[in-house]
Chain A
Amino acid sequence: MMTKLTTVTATTNWKQVMTTNRGTPAKRHKHPASGARILATGISMASVLGLTSAYALAAQHSTSALASDSGALTPEITQPAIPIFNTPVTAPTLPGPATPATTATSATPAITAPTVTPTIKIKTPKKTRSATKSGGSK
């Protein structure tokens, strides 16, 4: 099986995204054709907003709490008409165990986990492994 490995390192930087929207406003043209284009743009934007609303409705019916696959930004409306606050404010999941490597690799013979608590010694990382790091530098 061919597999492709992609690693992306990115900083989550708001400024880089927003700078493209801050140009000098273009001078208005009053030619009827421009008006038609503006009208067409208005219809187009309304369509996009309609899709965004549809997404919002669909997302809340999703069975997976972590599955809202959308690039939509926050809706502009800040004052909702009549909210109905009857949703339980509880997390969609509870804490549970991860899957260790020995459990998931079915082709590998079962390995009995050591029953003694391991002694951990501070050591330098191996250079040959491709590992993801979890540390307190966040």
Chain B
Amino acid sequence: MGNTAEVTVVGDTGDGGDFAQRRLTVLEHLWSRFIPTSDISRLNMSRGEPISVHPDTITLVKYLVSAHAFSNGYFDPTLLPTLVDLGYGASRSDASKSSILPANLPSLTEPLSRTLVDDISNVVRLPVGLTFDPGGLGKGLAADIVALELIRRGAIGACVNVGGDLRCVGDGPNDGVWDIDIESPFDASITIAELAVCNGGVATSSTRAKRWSTRRGQFHHVISPATNEPLIESENAPVQVTVIGAEAVWSEILATTILVAGASEGVSLASQSQLGVLVVLNNGEVIPNSHWSEFQR
């Protein structure tokens, strides 16, 4: 996942911090597109052959497929070849690591929905030509998994933040509450909102993150499935979306969906599930939905 993780544990669990670090490292080994032996790299190289994977990867694959369907295709985890072609092939935390993709990737003949899973023997079969990039969904799911496991190990409260996607469970350190600040997309030192949460997941997606220079100008990592190009950063388009829901994984899925679909259609989808949303437009305008105020300090 190539990100910095921050873990806060409330209550004496002994090795809670060490456990979280080890667990996140395992998930990194399973889900990184930059590690040749990861489950994701092995699936991406499988050319339609069934592959044995870790049970956590089975869960990840289920979320990747469901996210695409739930978002009406706006959240598309199959755009890795496009992302690599556009110049995001190497890890940003270690440039010596590159995405693992087969040479001469065959054309996609089946849709993502034809992904097959056997969760008795932990086997996944991807359609020929299909590859996965877990992206932010993997970070959100990792935060959910580790936070819940810390509670199961005896913590009173736990908050796991993986690169801005975070999950808070149990008692927070501030009178039992978790305080969460939302950064401005234009200046990370500026806080644009303060949240008070007891149990939930918060995720932020932005076109200002993970940018690189090309001969065609500056690119960013949020790709439109309709155009196979980075989202156009028009004045009235969202530049950053923060979503708060029960789980970090769904918050991340909806944040990216709103970024891609646009504020109107995307926020409607999130509001149907009573998720809080804060959209920042490129012109600086900040727009909360009706559920956001429930969490505002």
Contacts and interface: CB of A to CB of B under 8 A. Distances in A.
B25 A136 contact: no
A45 to B, nearest CB: 18
B118 A85 contact: yes
A134 to B, nearest CB: 5
A5 interface: yes
B26 A73 contact: yes
A33 interface: no
Interface of A: 2-15, 17, 56, 59-60, 64-75, 77-80, 83-87, 89-105, 113-114, 117-118, 120, 122-126, 129-138
Contact of B39 (A12, A74, A87): A74
A117 to B, nearest CB: 6
Contact of B23 (A71, A80, A98): A71
Contacts of A66: 59, 141, 144-145, 148, 247
B67 to A, nearest CB: 7
B282 to A, nearest CB: 13
5 contacts: A6-B7, A10-B4, A60-B120, A71-B23, A89-B62
B53 interface: yes
B80 interface: no
A60 to B, nearest CB: 5
Nearest to B181: A131
B177 A83 contact: no
Contacts of B200: 97-99
Interface string B249-264: 1110110000000000
Contacts of A64: 148
Contacts of A17: 25, 29
Given A66-B59, A75-B122, A122-B190, A131 B180 contact: yes
Question: What 10 A-B pairs come out closest when comparing CB atoms?
Answer: A136-B206, A98-B200, A135-B183, A138-B163, A104-B198, A91-B66, A8-B17, A85-B116, A101-B196, A95-B250
Please classify the interface of chain A as helix (H, G, I), strand (E, B), loop, or mixed, using the class held by over half of its residues: loop
Nearest to A4: B12
A100 B196 contact: yes
Contact of B152 (A3, A9, A69, A83): A69
B61 A120 contact: no
A6 B10 CA distance: 7
Given A75-B54, A92-B59, A134-B165, A12 B291 contact: no
B133 to A, nearest CB: 14
B119 interface: yes
A96 B274 contact: yes
Given A100-B295, A101-B196, A83 B149 contact: no
Contacts of B281: none
Contacts of B174: 129-130
A119 to B, nearest CB: 9
B30 interface: yes
Contact of A5 (B9, B54, B198, B244): B9
A134 B176 CA distance: 19
Contact of B50 (A60, A68, A83, A133): A83
Interface in B49-101: 49-59, 61-63, 65-67, 70, 93-94
